[in-house]
Amino acid sequence: MSLGRTLVIINPEARHGQTAALIPVVEQLLSSMPHKSATTKHTGHAGDLAAAASDYDVVVAVGGDGTAHEVLNGLMTLPAETRPALGLLPTGSGNDTRRTLGIPSDLAEAALVLGTGVRKRFDIGCCNGVYFNNSFAAGLDAKVTAKAVEYKVATKRSGLWLYLTALLHVLFNDLGSLHVKISFDGLEPVERDTLIIAVTQGPTYGGGFFITPDAVPDDGLFDVCMIDPLSLPQALMRLPFVIAGKHTKMRPVHMSRHTTLSIQGDRPIPAQIDGEVLYEPRYEIAMASAAIECIVPRAAR
């Protein structure tokens, strides 16, 4: 497959700065594919570069979920009819977006996908005007994400181990429920006490937790997982099942599918969107079906 005019956006700070050392590797892997490379200089730069990429056919994000998130939001500022396709070379810590798209974890194999894969349209979500590739979550997940940001710098951990460490800290120190008014698909809001509200496109978040194991990223629907308040022993007992995606039939767990959600609190609600922390009193979440074209393996569903 010919990529056409290609811009490669590299975040050298991804995975504790390890991506900087991989830049020569990336360039070698892409040497047979004509492209222009740009290295980000600060937070938000990947989004700015993508927003200015209207003359390109493909924009490749080299980094983790944060880099892919920025690039997606930059691309979504461009007109749909001329919007470049999104490619991904995963070099980050969590890389849940690459799981959603079916991109291999191996960098060389991921680069091969750019040359041999297919273009396929995927759904994305929009929360308060910000787009997300993979997940939005409110409640306990946001506390865990915030703690993971701290641990990522302090411990240099990554992926599932980073998220699990942060999760255990929150479970032992800040296991509180969230009281919200929530509306699905424009229906009347209902009041709920909940531990987690996870809204996803793909099956995993947090570096590999199968929070919505049956999610399909191109079916036009969000998969939603809500978990009732739990005691510490109850949470610890269920944790291995959540990691493996075997929790969906448990009594405190509520799985559903929707196209829109509205979440309202009486104070700012901790939340995360593709791993970026938010604190707002209201979240309006809507499905943008088949809004982005991505380059994925031919075997991807």
pLDDT tens figures, 243-270: 899 999 999 999 999 999 999 999 999 9
Alpha-carbon separation of residue 200 from 33, 53, 257 (angstroms): 33, 27, 10
CA 125 to CA 215: how far, in whole Å?
A: 13
Q: Are 80 and 296 in contact (CB under 8 A)?
A: no
pTM for the complete prediction? 0.92
Q: What are phi and psi of 114, to 5 degrees?
A: -60, -35
Question: What is the three-class DSSP state of 155?
Answer: helix
Q: Are 74 and 284 in contact (CB under 8 A)?
A: no
Q: What is the mean pLDDT of residues 74-89?
A: 97
Q: What are phi and psi of 255, to 5 degrees?
A: -105, 140
Question: What is the three-class DSSP state of 164?
Answer: helix
Residue 113 has pLDDT above 70, yes or no: yes
State which amino acid sits at residue 112.
L
CA 224 to CA 261: how far, in whole Å?
A: 10
Residue 160 has pLDDT above 80, yes or no: no
Q: Among 69, 61, 114, which residue's Cα sits nearest to residue 91? A: 61
Instruction: Give helix 19-29 / helix 107-116 axis angle, nearest 10°.
Output: 40
Q: Are 89 and 111 in contact (CB under 8 A)?
A: yes
Q: 256: which 2 tokens?
A: 């559903």
In the chain, the domains with their CATH numbers are 6-117 (3.40.50.10330), 135-289 (2.60.200.40)
CA 163 to CA 130: how far, in whole Å?
A: 23
Place of tokens 């969000």: 222
Question: What is the three-class DSSP state of 114?
Answer: helix
Q: What is the mean pLDDT of residues 75-87?
A: 97
Residue 85 has pLDDT above 50, yes or no: yes
